[in-house]
Amino acid sequence: MQARLLLEDGTLFTGKAFGSTGDSVGEVVFNTGITGYQEVLSDPSYCGQIVTMTYPLIGNYGIARDDFESIRPFIHGFVVREHEIVPSNWRAEYSLDNLLKEYGIIGISGIDTRMLTRRIRHLGVMKGILTTSDKRVEELLEQLNGTPLMTDQVSRVSTKSVFSAPGTKERVVLVDYGSKSGILRDLTKRGCDVVVVPQDATAEQIRRLSPDGILLSNGPGDPKDVPHAAKMIAELLGEFPIFGICLGHQLFALASGADTEKLKFGHRGGNHPVKELKSGRCYITSQNHGYTVKEESIAGTELEVTHINNNDRTIEGLRHKKYPAFSVQYHPEAAPGPFDSSYLFDEFLTMIRDHQKNTPKISRQAQLAAAYEQQANGAAGSVSKGELTYAKK
C-alpha cells in the first residue's frame, strides 16, 4: 500500500505504508540514533510528533518486551528509509509492523529520509500529515492547515493516579510529565522508595507524601503549556532537594525566573556532546527535546549554568545557587544511549543526604502534636486527608 508524507511547505514524499492506515497530523522531527528505535517509539516525549529516523535500516532487530520506555507508544507517525519486515534477533517477540498496527500508528518507508532531514535542518521543524488515503494533495494541505498542533501532550502521557515502587532508602517523589521507565529503573536500582505522581499534583499533595527529594521527569511539548507545574516547583523550591530532567529542567528554569524558547530543529539522538563547565569534561549524551532555556534569561536569577552543548552552545545544565536543586537538559538514564551521565542520580542522592544533615526533619509526631494544639486553641488548620487518586491493586 502507498503512503504519503506532506509537509506544510508543500513538500510531498511518496513511499510504502506499514503499520496502521488512515491520516495522522503531527510535528515532523528527526532522530539521529543508530539503534534504539523501540525506545524512541515508546518515549512519551514524542507525543504528537511524526518521527523520522536518519539511520537507514529500521526494524531489523524487532521488538522486545524489556526495551519499552513506557506502557505504549505515543508518536503520531514513523518515517524510515528501509523497513525490515522479518527481524533477526533472538530477543525479538514481534515485529515493528505488528507494534505499529497494534497502536494505530502509520509508518512510511522507501522515502529519501536524508533529504527530509536536510529540509528540516534548513527550514526548521514543521507540521506534516502522514496518510495512506488517496486524497488529492490540495485536500491534504487543507486538512493539514486546519489541524492545530497539540498543546495537551503532558496531560495525555502522564499517569492519572499515584503508584509506588517501594524501596528501603530515600523516598523520591517522581513527578510524571511523560517519564521514561529508565528514570524509575535508575532510582529503584539505588534502593529509593519511589512514589510516582501525576503532572498536576499540587505542592501540598506532594508535601503529604513526605518526600526526601523530588525528581521532575522528562515529557513532551512546550514547558509553557503546563504553567501549573512551574508554580508547584516554585512553591517547593528550597523545601526539598529537586532534580529536573529534560522538560523537568525547563520547568525548573521557569520556576526560578528564567525563560525558554523553541529550537529550530531540536536535539534528538544518542550522541550529543555536552561539556561540564566545572571540570571541562565532555559527556556523550542521549537527548530528545525541542525547547531550550534562553541564556540571557539566566541573568538576574539565582541560577548558574553547569553544562553547555558543544555543538550549538545551548544550556544543558543548571544549578540553583541558594537551594539544593539542579537540572540537566539531556537524559542521564539514556535508554537508548551512553551511560556517561548516570552519576547524576548519585549526585541527587548525595544532595538529599546533605540536605537532611543540614536541615533535620521535624518528626511526624511533633507535626501532629502541633496541629492538634492549634485545633485545641481554636486556630485555623487541621490534619487534612490527601486528594490524589491512587492506583488500584
pLDDT in tens, 248-297: 999 999 999 999 999 999 999 999 999 999 999 999 999 999 999 999 99
Residue 353 lies in a domain: yes
Domain end (from 121, 150, 179): 150
Residue 111 lies in a domain: yes
170 is catalytic: no
Mean per-residue pLDDT over the chain, rounded: 94
Cell triple for 320: 540553583
- pLDDT given at position 393: 54
Same domain, 71 and 192: no
Same domain, 18 and 167: no
Residue 125 lies in a domain: yes
Q: What is the CATH number of the domain that holds 138?
A: 3.50.30.20
Residue 193 lies in a domain: yes
Q: Is 80 exceeded by the pLDDT of residue 93?
A: yes
Q: Which domain holds residue 350?
A: 154-358
Same domain, 225 and 186: yes
Same domain, 142 and 159: no
246 is catalytic: yes
Output the pTM of the full model: 0.92
Same domain, 186 and 215: yes
Q: Which of 27, 170, 316, 333 is catalytic?
A: 333
The pLDDT tens digits of the residues spanning 135-151 come to 999 999 999 999 999 99
The pLDDT tens digits of the residues spanning 47-77 come to 999 999 999 999 999 999 999 999 999 999 9
Q: Which of 249, 320, 331, 355 is catalytic?
A: 331
Measure the CA–CA gap between 107 and 101, rounded to whole angstroms.
9
The pLDDT tens digits of the residues spanning 302-340 come to 999 999 999 999 999 999 999 999 999 999 998 888 899
320 is catalytic: no
- pLDDT given at position 335: 86
Indicate the helix (H) or strand (E) that contains 26: strand 23-31
Q: What is the CATH number of the domain that holds 324?
A: 3.40.50.880
Region at 366 (left for phi over 0; alpha for psi -120 to 50; beta for the rest): alpha
Same domain, 6 and 121: yes
Residue 377 lies in a domain: no
Same domain, 132 and 47: yes
Same domain, 299 and 172: yes
Q: What is the CA radius of gyration of the chain?
A: 22
What is the tally of structural domains in the chain?
Answer: 2
Q: Which of 170, 246, 307, 355 is catalytic?
A: 246
Check if the beta carbon of residue 294 is closer than 8 Å to that of residue 301. no
Residue 85 lies in a domain: yes
Of 324, 315, 344, give the one whose Cα is nearest residue 332.
344
Q: In what order do the strands lie in the sheet with 242-245?
A: 163-165, 193-197, 171-175, 213-216, 242-245, 325-328, 315-320, 303-309, 260-276, 282-293
Domain end (from 93, 122, 150): 150
Binding-site entries for L-glutamine: 45, 219, 221, 247, 250, 288, 290-291
- pLDDT given at position 391: 74
